[in-house]
Chain A
Amino acid sequence: MRTIGFSTGALARGDFRKALQMMAGKNLSAVELSALRQDELRALVEQIETLDLTAFKYVSFHAPSSMEREFERQALQLLEQVAEIGWPIIVHPDAMYEPKEWARLGDRLWLENMDKRKPIGQTADHLTRFFEVLPEASLCFDIGHARQVDPTMSEASAILSRFADRIQQLHVSEVNSQSRHDRLSFESVLAFQRVSHLLPNNVPVILESRVEEAEIEEEINRACEALTPENQLALTGD
């Protein structure tokens, strides 16, 4: 059984307590605490100690997806507190104004591949440039973003092959044409299965699909189906 759970931002945007309530009793083993907007960061960091996360064997933390330049230093100070707990911190490459400064987070910094709306960070080549500056960083592979950038999944395959050793977490959801995270459609399940043989088995999966509480389990099942390799042998000569 995979370590799998939801992002609090997907379930209840900035209301992380509500999201944790929605996840309670659903046998989820992972959670990602999200502060996707910069004004949510301080409140979440300051309340970490008050949260009951004992049900989860894996916790990660999502840094703001974008921020003002003036806020970057402050954000880093707050995120250092998260790094001290030992949780991985998921960061969008384009949210960093001074990537070198983010090396302060050491191996707790996990970069995420981006959707097509973002100016950088979508391809294996883009990501290589970031890892050159931040060699200790890992990768949170967002399969929905990769599919939106290239529905044939060639780019996903390139990222998965090139960064096999760096991938530490998966983000799973359907990313629609407006770059919003949606529930998994049959189309995205088919696409994800195309590269499922390249996905590491042992890394935690965080769903970013926007679902109602009643839909959580069904979405988890669909994600597991999407991430399971087909075990089909190559067709050979006729």
Chain B
Amino acid sequence: MPETTSATSVTRGLLDVDPFRRYRDDSARTRTELDELLSKEIPAYASDDTSLVAFGSLARGEWTAGSDLDWTYLIDGQANSDHLRISQEIRKAFLKTKLQEPGQTGIFGNMAFSHDIVHQIGGQNDTNRNTTQRILLLLESQPIGTRTEAHERVLRAVINRYLEEDTHPLTQNSKAYRVPRFLLNDIVRFWRTMAVDFASKQRDRAGEGWGLRNAKLRMSRKLIFASGLLVCFNANLDRALQSEISTGKNDVKLKLASHIRNQLKSTPLEIVARSMEDYGVSAAVAKGLFSSYADFLNLLNDKSSRESLKNLRSEDSGTDAVFQKVRQFGSSFEQALSHIFFENPSVAPLTRKYGVF
């Protein structure tokens, strides 16, 4: 049931204007420039077995001044010791761009192998790094250049893997898809891991970078989580998908896998915008969400504010003017998300059913 005032035109309008358009264009341009640079420095740097994949703001279409350049050389093919050399050459080439290097965790700026990403879901060998690579691959990754095959294959394989373990993809009367629980639980786990790691990093790094990490946790990381939940919920809510249900076991999963893959071709912001439209979220809520997110991106784009956040320690946050802004738009953003997930008549029942227990 749609809420009173439809968000359709508002959400579309909000994503098609500045600052979103500007940051999206900057992301696309940067990806193209990086491809041109690499093609010159390391001709044919990717192949049908390898893709260079961007993550973070570069992949989400939220590239601002000072954004980190998060990338992975994704390998889905025969093991080859030259892969390390190629990833080192890529790193060397990127250093010349003077763009911000990936963070200290080693999750990015490195190689990643499809086998671990696809096979190690859960269990002792699913490391923090592996979970992060897998979930971000699903929710915020974009291949750089034209060799996109390995990226596409791995994404599909991961989605397939989640669905393989869901033995009951349909509701009891076979009239609707269930929310894919295995995928949803992994996305929830990832969000909680990020939140726990926030505290862990604070301890490990003696408070260094606290302000920026806090702002990202309140905004961009929360956005990724919300978009992941919405993709899972959409399996149950999308009417066109339900109308295609057939009786074949394989057909049921193939259709759901394709549906999820298509959803994930959009950026997290686009997923949220489309959900607002699909579920009739009010224009006021939509406006609250997108304007607070625009404030966040604009603040990150401002060199002095970003620097100030980077240097801010938790003990000084109460009096810091920049952080007060973060609190303000963070609160508006959360309020809008709360409305969608806890009050919207389509989404709220699923949040209750799947969100906590």
Asked if A and B bind, the verdict is: yes
* Residues of chain A having any CB pair with chain B under 8 Å: 116-117, 122, 149-155, 157-158, 177, 193-198, 229-230, 232-238
Is B250 interfacial (CB 8 A cutoff)? yes
Q: Does B302 reach chain A (CB closer than 8 Å)?
A: no
B258 in contact with A157 (CB, 8 Å)? yes
* B249, A154: Cβ atoms closer than 8 Å: no
* CB atoms of A197 and B156 under 8 A apart: no
Q: Which residues of B contact A149 (CB under 8 A)?
A: 149, 153
Across the two chains, which residue of chain B brings its CB closest to A193?
A: B250
A236 to B169, CA, bound (A): 7
B170 contacts across to A, CB distance below 8 A:
234-237
- Interface pair B261/A154, CB less than 8 Å apart: yes
Q: Is the CB of A157 within 8 A of B171?
A: no
B 146-195 contacts with A by CB, 8 A: 149, 152-153, 156-157, 159-160, 167-174, 178
Whether the Cβ atoms of B160 and A235 lie closer than 8 Å is: no
Residue on A nearest B261 in the bound complex, by CB: A154
Can you name 10 extra interface pairs (CB under 8 A) apart from A149-B149, A232-B250? Answer: A122-B149, A152-B153, A193-B250, A229-B248, A232-B248, A232-B249, A235-B168, A235-B249, A236-B168, A238-B168
Interfacial chain B residues near A193, Cβ < 8 Å: 250
Q: Are A152 and B250 in contact (CB under 8 A)?
A: no
In the complex, the answer to whether B250 meets A230 with C-beta atoms within 8 Å is: yes
Q: Which of B48, B167, B261 contacts A117, CB < 8 Å?
A: B48
Cβ A152 vs Cβ B159 within 8 A: yes
B residues sitting closer than 8 Å to A (CB atoms) are 48-49, 77-78, 149, 152-153, 156-157, 159-160, 167-174, 178, 245-252, 254-255, 257-258, 261
Instruction: Determine the chain B residues whose CB is within 8 A of the CB of A152 once the complex forms.
Output: 153, 156-157, 159-160, 257
Contacts of B252 in A (CB 8 A): 234
Residue of B nearest to A157 (CB): B254
Is A236's CB under 8 angstroms from B254's CB? no
Q: What does DSSP make chain A's interface, helix, strand, loop or mixed? A: loop
Q: Are B258 and A158 in contact (CB under 8 A)?
A: yes
Instruction: Report the Cα distance A149→B254, complex, angstroms.
Output: 16
* Chain B positions within 8 Å of A195 at CB level: 250, 254
**Does A237 lie within 8 Å of B172, measured CB to CB?**
yes
Chain B residues, CB < 8 A from A229:
248
Chain A contacts for B153, CB-based, 8 A: 149-152
Among candidates A151, A197, A235, residue contacting B157 with C-beta atoms closer than 8 Å = A151
Give the residue name and chain of the A residue nearest to B166 (CB): A235
Q: Contact check: which of A116, A155, A233 meets B48 at CB < 8 Å?
A: A116
Residue of A nearest to B178 (CB): A237
A–B Cβ pairs within 8 angstroms, 9 of them:
A149-B153, A158-B258, A177-B49, A194-B250, A232-B248, A232-B250, A234-B174, A234-B248, A238-B167
B168/A233 in contact, CB under 8 A: no
Bound complex: CA of A24 vs CA of B118, how far in Å?
45
**Measured between C-beta atoms, what is the minimum distance from B239 to chain A in Å?**
19
Q: B156, A150: Cβ atoms under 8 Å? A: yes
Give, as a whole number of angstroms, the nearest-CB distance from A231 to chain B.
9
Q: Report A46 CB to chain B, min CB distance, Å.
A: 37
Cα distance A117–B147 in the bound complex, in angstroms: 11
CA distance A155 to B78 in the complex (A): 22
Of the candidates B78, B156, B173, B245, the one whose C-beta lies within 8 Å of that of A154 is B156
Name the distance in Å between A123's Cβ and chain B's nearest Cβ. Answer: 9
Residue of A nearest to B152 (CB): A150
Alpha-carbon separation in the docked complex, A149 to B152 (Å): 9
Contacting residues, chain B, for A151 (C-beta < 8 A):
153, 157
A237 touches B78 (CB 8 A): no
- B160 and A234 within 8 A (CB): no
Q: In the complex, A151 Cα to B160 Cα: how many Å?
A: 10
Distance, CA A158 to CA B172, complexed state (A): 27
Residue on B nearest A231 in the bound complex, by CB: B248
Ranked nearest first, the 7 interchain pairs of A and B with the lowest CB-CB distance are: A237-B172, A152-B160, A157-B254, A152-B156, A234-B252, A232-B249, A116-B48
Complex: how many Å from CA A197 to CA B246? 11
Instruction: State the CA gap A127–B24 with chains docked (Å).
Output: 30
Known: A116-B48, A117-B48. A235 touches B167 (CB 8 A): yes
**Contact, CB under 8 Å: A194 / B173:** no
Write the chain A residue with the least CB distance to B252: A234
Measured between alpha carbons, how far is A235 from B173 in the docked complex, in Å? 10
Which of A154, A177, A230 touches B258 (beta carbons < 8 Å)?
A154
Q: Output the nearest chain A residue to B248 by Cβ-Cβ distance.
A: A197
Contact of B173 among A155, A177, A236 (CB under 8 A): A236
Cβ distance B10 to chain A, nearest Cβ, rounded Å: 32
Contact, CB under 8 Å: B249 / A234:
yes
- When distances are taken between beta carbons in the complex, the residues of chain A under 8 Å from B168 are 235-238
Shortest distance in angstroms between A194's beta carbon and chain B's nearest beta carbon? 5
Closest CB in chain A relative to B156 CB, distance in Å: 4
Q: What's the Cα separation between A236 and B153 when bound, in Å?
A: 28
Contacts of B178 in A (CB 8 A): 237
Q: Which of A154, A196, A197, A232 has the most CB of B within 10 A?
A: A154
Q: Of all chain A residues, which has the CB nearest B48? A: A116
A158 to chain B: which residues have CB within 8 Å? 258
Contact among A122, A155, A197 for B250, CB-based, below 8 A: A197
